[in-house]
Structure 1
Protein backbone atom coordinates (compact mmCIF):
# COMPACT_ATOMS: atom_id res chain seq x y z
CA UNK A 1 0.00 0.00 0.00
CA UNK A 2 1.37 3.40 -0.94
CA UNK A 3 1.72 6.23 1.55
CA UNK A 4 0.89 9.91 1.21
CA UNK A 5 4.54 10.52 0.25
CA UNK A 6 4.40 7.89 -2.50
CA UNK A 7 1.18 9.36 -3.86
CA UNK A 8 2.71 12.85 -3.76
CA UNK A 9 5.63 11.66 -5.87
CA UNK A 10 3.26 10.04 -8.34
CA UNK A 11 1.20 13.22 -8.60
CA UNK A 12 4.35 15.27 -9.16
CA UNK A 13 5.41 12.93 -11.97
CA UNK A 14 2.00 13.09 -13.65
CA UNK A 15 2.00 16.88 -13.27
CA UNK A 16 5.41 16.96 -14.99
CA UNK A 17 4.08 14.86 -17.85
CA UNK A 18 0.93 16.93 -18.33
CA UNK A 19 3.06 20.07 -18.06
CA UNK A 20 5.14 18.78 -20.95
CA UNK A 21 1.97 18.08 -22.92
CA UNK A 22 0.71 21.63 -22.30
CA UNK A 23 3.71 23.29 -23.97
CA UNK A 24 3.33 24.80 -27.44
CA UNK A 25 4.60 24.90 -30.05
CA UNK A 26 6.44 21.57 -29.63
CA UNK A 27 8.16 20.57 -32.89
CA UNK A 28 6.63 17.35 -34.19
CA UNK A 29 4.85 16.63 -30.90
CA UNK A 30 1.20 16.83 -29.79
CA UNK A 31 0.31 20.05 -28.03
CA UNK A 32 -2.83 22.06 -27.16
CA UNK A 33 -3.12 23.39 -30.71
CA UNK A 34 -4.24 19.90 -31.73
CA UNK A 35 -7.52 20.50 -29.90
CA UNK A 36 -8.49 22.86 -32.72
CA UNK A 37 -7.99 20.21 -35.39
CA UNK A 38 -10.71 17.60 -35.74
CA UNK A 39 -8.38 14.96 -37.14
CA UNK A 40 -6.01 15.12 -34.15
CA UNK A 41 -8.27 16.16 -31.28
CA UNK A 42 -8.23 12.68 -29.72
CA UNK A 43 -4.45 12.47 -29.97
CA UNK A 44 -3.67 15.25 -27.52
CA UNK A 45 -6.82 14.77 -25.46
CA UNK A 46 -6.20 11.05 -25.01
CA UNK A 47 -2.56 11.65 -24.12
CA UNK A 48 -3.65 13.98 -21.31
CA UNK A 49 -6.24 11.49 -20.11
CA UNK A 50 -3.91 8.48 -20.27
CA UNK A 51 -1.17 10.40 -18.44
CA UNK A 52 -3.37 10.31 -15.36
CA UNK A 53 -3.52 6.52 -15.61
CA UNK A 54 0.19 6.44 -14.70
CA UNK A 55 -0.45 7.65 -11.15
CA UNK A 56 -1.33 4.32 -9.41
CA UNK A 57 1.63 2.54 -10.99
CA UNK A 58 4.07 5.31 -10.14
CA UNK A 59 2.82 5.36 -6.54
CA UNK A 60 3.33 1.59 -6.40
CA UNK A 61 6.89 2.01 -7.70
CA UNK A 62 7.61 4.60 -5.00
CA UNK A 63 6.15 2.28 -2.37
CA UNK A 64 8.27 -0.63 -3.61
CA UNK A 65 11.42 1.49 -3.42
CA UNK A 66 10.58 2.79 0.05
CA UNK A 67 9.90 -0.75 1.26
CA UNK A 68 13.11 -2.14 -0.27
CA UNK A 69 15.30 0.74 0.90
CA UNK A 70 18.15 0.10 -1.55
CA UNK A 71 18.61 0.09 -5.36
CA UNK A 72 18.80 -3.71 -5.47
CA UNK A 73 18.30 -6.20 -8.32
CA UNK A 74 15.06 -7.23 -6.63
CA UNK A 75 13.77 -3.66 -6.74
CA UNK A 76 14.64 -3.39 -10.44
CA UNK A 77 12.66 -6.57 -11.14
CA UNK A 78 9.69 -5.36 -9.11
CA UNK A 79 9.68 -2.01 -10.89
CA UNK A 80 9.66 -3.81 -14.22
CA UNK A 81 6.64 -5.88 -13.22
CA UNK A 82 4.75 -2.80 -11.99
CA UNK A 83 5.70 -0.95 -15.16
CA UNK A 84 4.27 -3.66 -17.42
CA UNK A 85 0.98 -3.64 -15.50
CA UNK A 86 0.90 0.16 -15.72
CA UNK A 87 1.50 0.03 -19.48
CA UNK A 88 -1.60 -2.13 -19.77
CA UNK A 89 -3.67 0.37 -17.76
CA UNK A 90 -2.38 3.26 -19.85
CA UNK A 91 -3.23 1.36 -23.04
CA UNK A 92 -6.82 0.95 -21.84
CA UNK A 93 -6.94 4.70 -21.14
CA UNK A 94 -5.80 5.62 -24.63
CA UNK A 95 -2.13 4.68 -24.85
CA UNK A 96 1.15 6.53 -25.14
CA UNK A 97 3.79 7.52 -22.58
CA UNK A 98 5.84 4.33 -22.67
CA UNK A 99 9.15 6.20 -22.73
CA UNK A 100 7.97 8.65 -20.10
CA UNK A 101 6.86 5.78 -17.86
CA UNK A 102 10.34 4.25 -18.04
CA UNK A 103 12.09 7.48 -17.12
CA UNK A 104 9.57 8.68 -14.54
CA UNK A 105 9.28 5.25 -12.93
CA UNK A 106 13.01 5.05 -12.27
CA UNK A 107 13.19 8.65 -11.07
CA UNK A 108 10.17 8.30 -8.79
CA UNK A 109 11.61 5.14 -7.26
CA UNK A 110 14.98 6.85 -6.78
CA UNK A 111 13.31 9.86 -5.14
CA UNK A 112 11.45 7.53 -2.77
CA UNK A 113 14.71 5.90 -1.70
CA UNK A 114 16.05 9.24 -0.46
CA UNK A 115 13.16 11.65 0.22
CA UNK A 116 15.40 14.70 0.72
CA UNK A 117 17.82 14.13 -2.15
CA UNK A 118 18.38 16.82 -4.76
CA UNK A 119 17.70 16.36 -8.45
CA UNK A 120 21.19 15.19 -9.43
CA UNK A 121 21.42 12.74 -6.53
CA UNK A 122 18.07 11.29 -7.58
CA UNK A 123 19.37 10.83 -11.14
CA UNK A 124 22.47 9.10 -9.76
CA UNK A 125 20.34 6.72 -7.70
CA UNK A 126 18.16 5.98 -10.74
CA UNK A 127 21.36 5.05 -12.56
CA UNK A 128 22.14 2.50 -9.84
CA UNK A 129 18.68 0.97 -10.16
CA UNK A 130 18.87 0.83 -13.96
CA UNK A 131 22.26 -0.90 -13.81
CA UNK A 132 20.51 -4.10 -12.71
CA UNK A 133 18.82 -6.51 -15.11
CA UNK A 134 15.09 -7.10 -14.97
CA UNK A 135 15.12 -10.87 -14.63
CA UNK A 136 11.44 -11.20 -15.50
CA UNK A 137 11.40 -8.95 -18.54
CA UNK A 138 10.00 -10.49 -21.74
CA UNK A 139 12.72 -11.88 -23.97
CA UNK A 140 11.24 -10.48 -27.18
CA UNK A 141 13.01 -7.30 -28.32
CA UNK A 142 11.11 -4.02 -28.28
CA UNK A 143 11.09 -1.61 -31.21
CA UNK A 144 13.37 0.72 -29.26
CA UNK A 145 15.89 -1.99 -28.43
CA UNK A 146 15.89 -3.22 -32.03
CA UNK A 147 16.56 0.30 -33.33
CA UNK A 148 19.26 0.80 -30.69
CA UNK A 149 20.99 -2.39 -31.79
CA UNK A 150 20.71 -1.49 -35.49
CA UNK A 151 22.15 2.03 -35.19
CA UNK A 152 24.26 1.78 -32.03
CA UNK A 153 22.09 4.31 -30.19
CA UNK A 154 22.03 4.35 -26.41
CA UNK A 155 18.25 4.18 -26.26
CA UNK A 156 16.13 4.47 -23.15
CA UNK A 157 18.14 1.87 -21.24
CA UNK A 158 21.42 3.52 -22.11
CA UNK A 159 20.10 6.92 -21.04
CA UNK A 160 19.06 5.53 -17.65
CA UNK A 161 22.27 3.57 -17.12
CA UNK A 162 24.25 6.75 -17.83
CA UNK A 163 22.34 8.60 -15.11
CA UNK A 164 19.96 10.46 -17.43
CA UNK A 165 22.50 12.92 -18.91
CA UNK A 166 19.87 14.56 -21.14
CA UNK A 167 17.56 15.07 -18.18
CA UNK A 168 20.42 16.80 -16.35
CA UNK A 169 21.18 18.98 -19.37
CA UNK A 170 17.52 19.94 -19.57
CA UNK A 171 17.63 20.95 -15.90
CA UNK A 172 20.65 23.17 -16.58
CA UNK A 173 18.79 24.81 -19.46
CA UNK A 174 15.71 25.40 -17.31
CA UNK A 175 17.83 27.14 -14.69
CA UNK A 176 19.83 29.19 -17.18
CA UNK A 177 16.86 30.28 -19.27
CA UNK A 178 14.84 31.40 -16.27
CA UNK A 179 17.85 33.30 -14.93
CA UNK A 180 18.12 35.06 -18.29
CA UNK A 181 14.56 36.34 -18.10
CA UNK A 182 12.70 33.69 -20.10
CA UNK A 183 9.21 32.73 -19.04
CA UNK A 184 8.63 29.28 -17.56
CA UNK A 185 7.11 28.07 -20.84
CA UNK A 186 10.03 29.44 -22.87
CA UNK A 187 12.53 27.84 -20.49
CA UNK A 188 10.76 24.50 -20.82
CA UNK A 189 10.75 24.72 -24.61
CA UNK A 190 14.47 25.54 -24.56
CA UNK A 191 15.00 22.51 -22.31
CA UNK A 192 13.13 20.31 -24.81
CA UNK A 193 15.26 21.65 -27.66
CA UNK A 194 18.42 21.01 -25.64
CA UNK A 195 17.45 17.35 -25.39
CA UNK A 196 16.46 17.19 -29.07
CA UNK A 197 19.77 18.72 -30.16
CA UNK A 198 21.86 15.73 -29.04
CA UNK A 199 19.60 12.80 -28.13
CA UNK A 200 19.81 9.72 -30.34
CA UNK A 201 16.04 9.44 -30.31
CA UNK A 202 15.13 5.87 -31.29
CA UNK A 203 11.63 6.95 -32.38
CA UNK A 204 13.19 9.36 -34.88
CA UNK A 205 15.71 6.76 -36.00
CA UNK A 206 12.84 4.35 -36.65
CA UNK A 207 10.74 6.80 -38.67
CA UNK A 208 13.37 9.04 -40.25
CA UNK A 209 16.67 7.16 -40.12
CA UNK A 210 20.09 8.64 -39.23
CA UNK A 211 19.82 11.48 -41.77
CA UNK A 212 16.44 12.49 -40.38
CA UNK A 213 17.74 12.38 -36.83
CA UNK A 214 20.64 14.68 -37.73
CA UNK A 215 18.20 17.02 -39.49
CA UNK A 216 16.09 17.32 -36.32
CA UNK A 217 19.16 17.76 -34.10
CA UNK A 218 20.45 20.54 -36.35
CA UNK A 219 17.07 22.27 -36.33
CA UNK A 220 16.96 22.23 -32.54
CA UNK A 221 20.49 23.63 -32.34
CA UNK A 222 19.53 26.42 -34.74
CA UNK A 223 16.79 27.59 -32.36
CA UNK A 224 19.13 27.53 -29.37
CA UNK A 225 21.97 29.24 -31.24
CA UNK A 226 19.51 31.93 -32.32
CA UNK A 227 19.07 32.87 -28.68
CA UNK A 228 16.36 30.41 -27.66
CA UNK A 229 12.61 30.73 -27.76
CA UNK A 230 12.58 33.95 -25.71
CA UNK A 231 14.12 35.86 -28.63
CA UNK A 232 12.37 36.90 -31.82
CA UNK A 233 14.91 35.10 -34.00
CA UNK A 234 14.71 31.95 -31.90
CA UNK A 235 10.92 31.99 -31.91
CA UNK A 236 10.90 32.22 -35.72
CA UNK A 237 13.37 29.33 -35.95
CA UNK A 238 11.15 27.29 -33.61
CA UNK A 239 8.07 27.97 -35.76
CA UNK A 240 9.99 26.88 -38.85
CA UNK A 241 11.19 23.67 -37.20
CA UNK A 242 7.70 22.96 -35.89
CA UNK A 243 6.13 23.32 -39.34
CA UNK A 244 8.88 21.20 -40.89
CA UNK A 245 8.53 18.27 -38.47
CA UNK A 246 4.75 18.23 -38.59
CA UNK A 247 4.88 18.23 -42.41
CA UNK A 248 7.30 15.29 -42.36
CA UNK A 249 5.36 13.50 -39.57
CA UNK A 250 8.58 13.14 -37.56
CA UNK A 251 8.05 13.01 -33.81
CA UNK A 252 10.89 13.28 -31.22
CA UNK A 253 8.93 11.36 -28.60
CA UNK A 254 12.00 10.28 -26.69
CA UNK A 255 12.91 13.90 -26.06
CA UNK A 256 9.42 14.63 -24.74
CA UNK A 257 9.64 11.83 -22.19
CA UNK A 258 13.00 13.05 -20.93
CA UNK A 259 11.71 16.60 -20.61
CA UNK A 260 8.98 15.21 -18.36
CA UNK A 261 11.72 13.59 -16.27
CA UNK A 262 13.50 16.93 -15.97
CA UNK A 263 10.31 18.73 -14.95
CA UNK A 264 9.72 16.08 -12.29
CA UNK A 265 13.21 16.49 -10.85
CA UNK A 266 12.77 20.26 -10.97
CA UNK A 267 9.75 19.87 -8.66
CA UNK A 268 11.66 18.02 -5.91
CA UNK A 269 11.50 17.67 -2.99
CA UNK A 270 7.74 17.09 -3.03
CA UNK A 271 7.61 14.81 0.03
CA UNK A 272 8.44 17.68 2.36
CA UNK A 273 5.48 19.65 1.09
CA UNK A 274 3.22 16.58 1.28
CA UNK A 275 4.00 15.80 4.92
Structure 2
Protein backbone atom coordinates (compact mmCIF):
# COMPACT_ATOMS: atom_id res chain seq x y z
CA UNK A 1 0.00 0.00 0.00
CA UNK A 2 1.33 3.43 -0.92
CA UNK A 3 1.70 5.79 1.98
CA UNK A 4 -0.43 8.91 1.81
CA UNK A 5 1.46 12.22 2.14
CA UNK A 6 1.11 13.90 5.48
CA UNK A 7 -0.99 17.02 5.72
CA UNK A 8 0.07 19.79 8.07
CA UNK A 9 -1.24 21.01 10.41
CA UNK A 10 -4.45 19.61 11.95
CA UNK A 11 -7.97 19.84 10.57
CA UNK A 12 -9.38 22.54 12.82
CA UNK A 13 -7.83 25.48 11.02
CA UNK A 14 -6.20 24.03 7.91
CA UNK A 15 -8.33 21.30 6.27
CA UNK A 16 -7.27 19.05 3.43
CA UNK A 17 -6.56 20.77 0.09
CA UNK A 18 -9.58 21.92 -1.87
CA UNK A 19 -9.73 20.14 -5.23
CA UNK A 20 -11.32 22.45 -7.82
CA UNK A 21 -13.14 24.41 -5.12
CA UNK A 22 -16.85 25.02 -5.46
CA UNK A 23 -18.25 28.50 -4.73
CA UNK A 24 -19.58 27.12 -1.45
CA UNK A 25 -16.16 25.80 -0.38
CA UNK A 26 -14.50 29.08 -1.40
CA UNK A 27 -17.00 30.98 0.73
CA UNK A 28 -16.49 28.64 3.67
CA UNK A 29 -12.71 28.99 3.40
CA UNK A 30 -13.04 32.78 3.51
CA UNK A 31 -15.22 32.72 6.65
CA UNK A 32 -12.91 30.21 8.35
CA UNK A 33 -9.91 32.41 7.57
CA UNK A 34 -11.60 35.47 9.06
CA UNK A 35 -12.50 33.47 12.15
CA UNK A 36 -8.91 32.30 12.51
CA UNK A 37 -7.61 35.86 12.17
CA UNK A 38 -10.00 37.01 14.90
CA UNK A 39 -9.06 34.11 17.18
CA UNK A 40 -5.28 34.56 16.91
CA UNK A 41 -3.68 35.95 20.07
CA UNK A 42 -1.73 37.93 21.18
CA UNK A 43 -2.19 40.41 18.33
CA UNK A 44 -0.89 43.94 19.04
CA UNK A 45 -3.77 46.36 19.42
CA UNK A 46 -6.29 44.14 17.64
CA UNK A 47 -9.60 42.63 18.70
CA UNK A 48 -9.57 38.98 19.81
CA UNK A 49 -11.80 36.82 22.03
CA UNK A 50 -9.47 37.81 24.90
CA UNK A 51 -9.94 41.59 24.70
CA UNK A 52 -10.80 44.47 22.38
CA UNK A 53 -7.27 45.77 21.96
CA UNK A 54 -7.21 49.45 20.99
CA UNK A 55 -10.86 49.41 19.88
CA UNK A 56 -13.46 50.82 22.26
CA UNK A 57 -16.32 50.50 19.75
CA UNK A 58 -16.13 46.75 19.06
CA UNK A 59 -15.33 43.36 20.55
CA UNK A 60 -15.25 39.74 19.42
CA UNK A 61 -19.04 39.52 19.56
CA UNK A 62 -19.25 42.41 17.08
CA UNK A 63 -16.99 40.48 14.72
CA UNK A 64 -19.06 37.33 15.03
CA UNK A 65 -22.24 39.25 14.13
CA UNK A 66 -20.40 40.68 11.16
CA UNK A 67 -19.18 37.26 10.04
CA UNK A 68 -22.73 35.90 10.21
CA UNK A 69 -23.91 38.72 7.97
CA UNK A 70 -21.26 37.82 5.38
CA UNK A 71 -22.01 34.10 5.27
CA UNK A 72 -23.37 34.23 1.68
CA UNK A 73 -21.22 37.02 0.24
CA UNK A 74 -18.02 35.14 -0.53
CA UNK A 75 -19.94 32.33 -2.26
CA UNK A 76 -21.79 34.91 -4.36
CA UNK A 77 -18.64 36.73 -5.43
CA UNK A 78 -16.90 33.42 -6.23
CA UNK A 79 -19.87 32.65 -8.51
CA UNK A 80 -19.45 36.07 -10.10
CA UNK A 81 -15.78 35.27 -10.71
CA UNK A 82 -16.78 32.00 -12.35
CA UNK A 83 -18.98 34.04 -14.67
CA UNK A 84 -16.09 36.37 -15.63
CA UNK A 85 -17.83 39.33 -14.01
CA UNK A 86 -16.28 42.79 -14.46
CA UNK A 87 -15.07 44.78 -11.48
CA UNK A 88 -18.25 46.88 -11.49
CA UNK A 89 -20.33 43.76 -10.74
CA UNK A 90 -17.94 42.68 -7.99
CA UNK A 91 -18.14 46.17 -6.51
CA UNK A 92 -21.94 46.02 -6.35
CA UNK A 93 -21.76 42.73 -4.44
CA UNK A 94 -19.22 44.28 -2.06
CA UNK A 95 -21.38 47.34 -1.44
CA UNK A 96 -24.38 45.15 -0.61
CA UNK A 97 -22.22 43.04 1.74
CA UNK A 98 -20.93 46.16 3.47
CA UNK A 99 -24.48 47.37 4.03
CA UNK A 100 -25.39 44.04 5.65
CA UNK A 101 -22.25 44.19 7.79
CA UNK A 102 -23.00 47.71 9.04
CA UNK A 103 -26.58 46.74 9.84
CA UNK A 104 -25.39 43.71 11.82
CA UNK A 105 -22.76 45.70 13.74
CA UNK A 106 -24.90 48.83 14.23
CA UNK A 107 -22.61 50.93 12.08
CA UNK A 108 -19.22 49.56 13.18
CA UNK A 109 -16.70 48.78 10.43
CA UNK A 110 -15.38 45.33 11.28
CA UNK A 111 -14.76 43.74 7.88
CA UNK A 112 -14.70 46.41 5.17
CA UNK A 113 -11.12 45.44 4.29
CA UNK A 114 -12.01 41.75 4.18
CA UNK A 115 -15.05 42.38 1.99
CA UNK A 116 -12.72 44.04 -0.50
CA UNK A 117 -9.58 41.86 -0.24
CA UNK A 118 -11.06 38.41 0.30
CA UNK A 119 -13.88 39.26 -2.08
CA UNK A 120 -11.43 39.85 -4.93
CA UNK A 121 -9.45 36.71 -4.06
CA UNK A 122 -12.67 34.65 -3.89
CA UNK A 123 -13.70 35.97 -7.31
CA UNK A 124 -10.24 35.08 -8.64
CA UNK A 125 -10.58 31.57 -7.20
CA UNK A 126 -13.94 31.22 -8.93
CA UNK A 127 -12.45 32.38 -12.21
CA UNK A 128 -9.60 29.86 -12.00
CA UNK A 129 -11.99 27.09 -11.00
CA UNK A 130 -14.21 27.81 -13.99
CA UNK A 131 -11.20 27.71 -16.32
CA UNK A 132 -9.96 24.50 -14.65
CA UNK A 133 -6.67 26.20 -13.77
CA UNK A 134 -4.49 25.70 -10.72
CA UNK A 135 -4.70 28.05 -7.72
CA UNK A 136 -1.06 27.41 -6.82
CA UNK A 137 1.86 29.85 -6.72
CA UNK A 138 0.68 33.36 -7.68
CA UNK A 139 -2.23 32.39 -9.93
CA UNK A 140 -4.75 34.23 -7.75
CA UNK A 141 -2.56 37.35 -7.76
CA UNK A 142 -2.26 37.29 -11.54
CA UNK A 143 -6.04 37.07 -12.00
CA UNK A 144 -6.73 39.99 -9.66
CA UNK A 145 -3.99 42.12 -11.20
CA UNK A 146 -4.70 41.37 -14.86
CA UNK A 147 -8.50 41.11 -14.84
CA UNK A 148 -9.45 43.86 -12.40
CA UNK A 149 -6.27 45.82 -11.58
CA UNK A 150 -6.88 48.71 -13.95
CA UNK A 151 -10.53 49.03 -12.88
CA UNK A 152 -9.46 49.07 -9.22
CA UNK A 153 -6.99 51.88 -9.93
CA UNK A 154 -9.64 53.84 -11.84
CA UNK A 155 -12.08 53.24 -8.98
CA UNK A 156 -9.52 54.76 -6.60
CA UNK A 157 -9.17 57.94 -8.65
CA UNK A 158 -12.94 58.49 -8.54
CA UNK A 159 -13.35 57.97 -4.81
CA UNK A 160 -13.75 61.02 -2.56
CA UNK A 161 -11.10 60.96 0.14
CA UNK A 162 -13.50 60.35 2.97
CA UNK A 163 -12.14 57.13 4.44
CA UNK A 164 -9.31 57.14 6.95
CA UNK A 165 -7.20 54.99 4.65
CA UNK A 166 -7.63 57.19 1.58
CA UNK A 167 -6.85 60.34 3.56
CA UNK A 168 -3.72 58.87 5.05
CA UNK A 169 -2.55 57.35 1.76
CA UNK A 170 -2.78 60.77 0.11
CA UNK A 171 -1.17 62.66 2.99
CA UNK A 172 1.76 60.28 3.48
CA UNK A 173 2.32 59.20 -0.11
CA UNK A 174 1.63 55.51 0.49
CA UNK A 175 -0.48 53.19 -1.63
CA UNK A 176 -2.97 51.77 0.82
CA UNK A 177 -5.48 49.00 0.18
CA UNK A 178 -6.33 49.97 -3.41
CA UNK A 179 -2.72 49.82 -4.58
CA UNK A 180 -2.19 46.55 -2.73
CA UNK A 181 -5.20 45.00 -4.46
CA UNK A 182 -4.58 46.41 -7.95
CA UNK A 183 -1.00 45.11 -7.77
CA UNK A 184 -2.18 41.58 -6.96
CA UNK A 185 -1.59 41.65 -3.18
CA UNK A 186 2.23 41.59 -3.21
CA UNK A 187 2.46 41.68 0.60
CA UNK A 188 0.28 38.57 0.80
CA UNK A 189 2.26 36.52 -1.71
CA UNK A 190 5.77 37.88 -1.05
CA UNK A 191 5.64 38.38 2.73
CA UNK A 192 2.61 36.86 4.44
CA UNK A 193 2.41 33.50 2.69
CA UNK A 194 6.15 32.68 2.92
CA UNK A 195 6.15 33.64 6.62
CA UNK A 196 3.10 31.48 7.35
CA UNK A 197 4.44 28.50 5.42
CA UNK A 198 7.89 28.73 7.02
CA UNK A 199 6.43 28.95 10.51
CA UNK A 200 4.19 25.93 9.96
CA UNK A 201 7.10 24.01 8.45
CA UNK A 202 9.11 24.74 11.60
CA UNK A 203 6.37 23.13 13.68
CA UNK A 204 4.28 26.08 14.88
CA UNK A 205 0.63 25.46 15.65
CA UNK A 206 -1.94 27.41 13.55
CA UNK A 207 -2.44 30.18 16.14
CA UNK A 208 1.29 30.75 16.58
CA UNK A 209 1.92 30.69 12.83
CA UNK A 210 -0.83 33.28 12.31
CA UNK A 211 0.79 35.57 14.88
CA UNK A 212 4.19 35.10 13.22
CA UNK A 213 2.64 36.00 9.87
CA UNK A 214 1.04 39.12 11.34
CA UNK A 215 4.35 40.36 12.74
CA UNK A 216 6.07 39.69 9.41
CA UNK A 217 3.46 41.85 7.66
CA UNK A 218 3.64 44.55 10.33
CA UNK A 219 7.39 44.82 9.89
CA UNK A 220 7.19 45.98 6.26
CA UNK A 221 3.66 47.18 5.48
CA UNK A 222 3.04 50.96 5.32
CA UNK A 223 -0.15 50.34 7.31
CA UNK A 224 -2.55 53.25 6.83
CA UNK A 225 -4.41 52.33 10.03
CA UNK A 226 -1.22 52.86 12.02
CA UNK A 227 -0.52 56.09 10.15
CA UNK A 228 -4.02 57.34 10.90
CA UNK A 229 -3.81 56.57 14.61
CA UNK A 230 -0.17 57.39 15.30
CA UNK A 231 1.30 59.19 12.32
CA UNK A 232 4.73 58.28 11.01
CA UNK A 233 6.00 57.94 14.57
CA UNK A 234 3.32 55.35 15.33
CA UNK A 235 4.09 53.41 12.15
CA UNK A 236 7.81 53.43 12.91
CA UNK A 237 7.19 52.24 16.47
CA UNK A 238 5.00 49.38 15.22
CA UNK A 239 7.47 48.29 12.56
CA UNK A 240 10.40 48.39 14.99
CA UNK A 241 8.40 46.42 17.57
CA UNK A 242 7.63 43.77 14.96
CA UNK A 243 11.25 43.67 13.81
CA UNK A 244 12.49 43.19 17.39
CA UNK A 245 9.95 40.41 18.00
CA UNK A 246 10.99 38.53 14.87
CA UNK A 247 14.71 39.08 15.48
CA UNK A 248 14.32 37.53 18.95
CA UNK A 249 12.95 34.35 17.35
CA UNK A 250 9.32 35.25 16.88
CA UNK A 251 6.95 32.50 17.98
CA UNK A 252 9.68 29.88 17.71
CA UNK A 253 11.02 30.22 21.28
CA UNK A 254 9.75 29.57 24.78
CA UNK A 255 7.76 32.41 26.28
CA UNK A 256 7.08 34.24 23.04
CA UNK A 257 3.54 34.94 24.24
CA UNK A 258 4.93 37.16 27.02
CA UNK A 259 6.85 39.27 24.49
CA UNK A 260 3.89 39.53 22.11
CA UNK A 261 1.58 40.31 25.03
CA UNK A 262 3.86 43.13 26.17
CA UNK A 263 3.83 44.62 22.67
CA UNK A 264 0.04 44.28 22.64
CA UNK A 265 -0.24 46.30 25.85
CA UNK A 266 2.09 48.98 24.46
CA UNK A 267 -0.06 49.29 21.36
CA UNK A 268 -3.20 49.64 23.48
CA UNK A 269 -1.54 52.32 25.62
CA UNK A 270 -0.64 54.25 22.44
CA UNK A 271 -4.02 53.56 20.78
CA UNK A 272 -2.34 51.82 17.85
CA UNK A 273 -3.96 49.11 15.75
CA UNK A 274 -2.37 47.48 12.67
CA UNK A 275 -5.68 46.97 10.90
CA UNK A 276 -4.15 46.87 7.43
CA UNK A 277 -1.79 44.11 8.49
CA UNK A 278 -4.71 42.20 10.03
CA UNK A 279 -6.64 42.45 6.75
CA UNK A 280 -3.68 41.00 4.87
CA UNK A 281 -3.24 38.28 7.50
CA UNK A 282 -6.81 37.16 6.80
CA UNK A 283 -6.11 37.27 3.06
CA UNK A 284 -2.95 35.20 3.57
CA UNK A 285 -4.83 32.59 5.60
CA UNK A 286 -7.46 32.43 2.87
CA UNK A 287 -4.90 31.90 0.11
CA UNK A 288 -3.17 29.23 2.19
CA UNK A 289 -6.47 27.40 2.70
CA UNK A 290 -7.17 27.41 -1.02
CA UNK A 291 -3.66 26.25 -1.90
CA UNK A 292 -2.97 24.05 1.17
Tell whether the structures are fold-level matches, with TM greater than 0.5: yes
The question of 1:150 aligning with 2:167 is answered no
**Relative to 1, partners in 2 of residues 1:222 and 1:269: Cα closer, same or farther, differing over 3 Å?**
closer
> Paired residue for 1:67, among 83, 86, 91?
83
Query: What's 1:273 paired with?
Result: none
Structure 1 position 136, deviation (Å): 7.5
Uncovered stretches (5+) of structure 2, i.e. residues with no partner:
1-20
The 3-state SS of whatever aligns with 2:242 is helix
The question of 1:45 aligning with 2:70 is answered no
Aligned-partner Cα distance in 1 for 2:93–2:73: 6
Per-residue displacement from partner, 1:28-61 (whole Å, max 9, x unpaired)?
A: 00011128x9x96952111122023223222221
Query: What's 1:84 paired with?
Result: 95
> Paired residue for 2:196, among 174, 178, 183?
174
Structure 1 position 196, deviation (Å): 0.7
Query: What's 1:5 paired with?
Result: 22
Query: What's 1:196 paired with?
Result: 218
Aligned-partner Cα distance in 2 for 1:243–1:130: 39
Aligned-partner Cα distance in 2 for 1:269–1:225: 28
Aligned-partner Cα distance in 2 for 1:218–1:234: 17
Q: Does structure 2 conserve the Cα–Cα contact (< 8 Å) formed by 1:226 and 1:233? A: no
The 3-state SS of whatever aligns with 1:255 is helix
Aligned-partner Cα distance in 2 for 1:265–1:119: 10
Per-residue displacement from partner, 1:57-98 (whole Å, max 9, x unpaired)?
A: 222211111112xxxxx6111111111111000001114111
Aligned-partner Cα distance in 2 for 1:52–1:171: 26
Q: Does structure 1 conserve the Cα–Cα contact (< 8 Å) formed by 2:135 and 2:291? A: yes
> Paired residue for 1:15, among 32, 44, 51?
32
Structure 1 position 161, deviation (Å): 2.0
Aligned-partner Cα distance in 2 for 1:140–1:193: 31
* Bigger helix share: 1
Aligned-partner Cα distance in 2 for 1:32–1:265: 24
Structure 1 position 182, deviation (Å): 1.7
Uncovered stretches (5+) of structure 1, i.e. residues with no partner:
69-73, 271-275
Q: Does structure 2 conserve the Cα–Cα contact (< 8 Å) formed by 1:226 and 1:237? A: no
**Relative to 1, partners in 2 of residues 1:136 and 1:153: Cα closer, same or farther, differing over 3 Å?**
closer
Aligned-partner Cα distance in 2 for 1:20–1:242: 15
Larger mean CA deviation between 46-55 and 98-107 belongs to 46-55
Q: How many residues align?
A: 260
Aligned-partner Cα distance in 1 for 2:284–2:177: 15
Larger mean CA deviation between 224-233 and 13-22 belongs to 224-233
When the two chains are superposed, the root-mean-square deviation of aligned CA atoms in Å is 2.3
> Paired residue for 1:100, among 94, 108, 114?
114
The 3-state SS of whatever aligns with 1:251 is coil
Aligned-partner Cα distance in 2 for 1:201–1:245: 14
Aligned-partner Cα distance in 2 for 1:208–1:41: 18
